[in-house]
């Protein structure tokens, strides 16, 4: 006598035929039907899966899955099949408007830029501090040279006067040699300052670009020095005109993009893409939830 199939009976017949239990779709189809119908279908289709009316279904991507993963696959497949029947599909190309992209960029900038702004301020402070220290050291050295030069120059005059050679060629020679020595020391100090300043500026520019250097120069933060003083007659004659501490080729540094600038741009792009991806995922999940409901 035929009887209605229970889940236990369905699994028993499938295990007998295929060595496995019925999957969810098979279970839903056969539950409550007559056992003779399933027996007949199993006998006619002794391999693969048996579904409605004894039809054979070809193997699918879920055939390689087992356990919980197979159940999840079957549930998702059943849900999508049901959605197709209702004419509902997921939009695979969720559109993002220019306004949304601008908003994502704004969020990315609020997250990324503060870090790089802080790093720039720290580097800028260090750069200016080093330049200022080197410049002040040169000026202090020149003041010390002036003091020593004046004392030595005066000493030569007194010594010549005591020896009766106040207007002699020997005194003039000694004074000229002393003056040349002091002037040479001043020029050497100025050259060393320029070389050191250019080195610091190049390092800063390589990290923060030509725009970073231009911004500092535009602020007029005292990064200049008067021309080297001229030595003569026991004192230093200081010049009223001067220039910047460093001079870099504008053809190179005006268009230079620093490593930190490049990394900042890269981080902004990456974070914006992450935000867009998260948006797409949320939209897809929302579509899926609404359609499933």
Q: What is the pLDDT of residues 187-211, one digit of tens each?
A: 999 999 999 999 999 999 999 998 8
Phi and psi (nearest 5°) for 17? -80, -45
Q: Specify which residues 230 forms β-bridges with.
A: 237
What average pLDDT does the segment 38-45 reach? 76
- Checking if the pLDDT of 67 tops 70, the result is no
What average pLDDT does the segment 52-63 reach? 47
| Whole-number pLDDT of residue 55 | 46
| Whole-number pLDDT of residue 86 | 62
Q: What is the pTM of this model?
A: 0.59
Which has the minimum average pLDDT: 29-33, 41-45, 233-237? 41-45
Burial-class residue 104 by CB neighbours within 10 Å (0-12, 13-18, 19+). buried
Quick one: which of 141, 152, 238 has its CA closest to 186?
141
| Whole-number pLDDT of residue 194 | 93
Q: What is the pLDDT of residues 164-193, one digit of tens each?
A: 665 667 878 888 999 999 999 999 999 999
Q: 240 pLDDT band (50/70/90 cuts)?
A: confident
Which has the minimum average pLDDT: 39-43, 125-129, 289-293? 289-293
Q: 57 pLDDT band (50/70/90 cuts)?
A: very low
What average pLDDT does the segment 224-238 reach? 90
Phi and psi (nearest 5°) for 32? 90, -15
Q: What is the pLDDT of residues 15-26, one digit of tens each?
A: 787 777 888 788
What average pLDDT does the segment 84-94 reach? 60
State the angle between helix axes of 259-292 and 98-163 in degrees (0 to 180), rounded to the nearest 10. Answer: 160
What average pLDDT does the segment 204-223 reach? 80
């Amino acid at each position: 006598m035929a009887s209605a199939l229970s889940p236990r009976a369905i699994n028993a017949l499938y295990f007998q035929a295929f060595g496995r239990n019925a999957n969810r779709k098979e279970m839903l189809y056969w539950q409550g039907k007559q056992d003779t119908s399933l027996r007949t279908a199993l006998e006619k289709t002794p391999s693969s899966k048996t579904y409605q009316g004894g039809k054979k279904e070809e193997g699918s991507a879920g055939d390689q899955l087992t356990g919980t993963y197979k159940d999840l696959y079957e549930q998702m497949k059943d849900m999508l099949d049901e959605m197709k029947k209702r004419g509902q599909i997921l939009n695979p190309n969720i559109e993002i408007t220019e306004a949304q992209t601008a908003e994502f960029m704004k969020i990315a900038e609020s997250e990324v830029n503060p870090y790089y702004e802080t790093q720039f301020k720290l580097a800028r402070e260090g750069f200016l501090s080093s330049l200022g220290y080197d410049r002040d050291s040169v000026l202090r050295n020149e003041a010390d040279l002036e003091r020593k030069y004046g004392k030595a120059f005066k000493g030569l005059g007194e010594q010549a006067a005591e020896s009766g050679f106040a207007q002699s060629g020997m005194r003039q020679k000694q004074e000229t040699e002393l003056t040349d020595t002091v002037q040479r020391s001043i020029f050497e100090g100025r050259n060393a300052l320029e070389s050191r300043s250019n080195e610091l500026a190049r390092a800063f520019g390589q990290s923060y670009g030509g725009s970073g250097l231009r911004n500092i120069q535009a602020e007029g933060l005292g990064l200049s020095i008067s021309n080297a003083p001229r030595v003569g007659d026991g004192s230093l004659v200081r010049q009223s005109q001067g220039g910047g501490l460093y001079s870099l080729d504008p053809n190179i540094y005006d268009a230079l993009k620093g490593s930190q600038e490049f990394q900042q741009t890269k981080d902004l792009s990456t974070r914006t893409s992450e935000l867009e991806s998260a948006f797409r995922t949320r939209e897809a999940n929302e579509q899926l939830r609404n359609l499933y409901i």
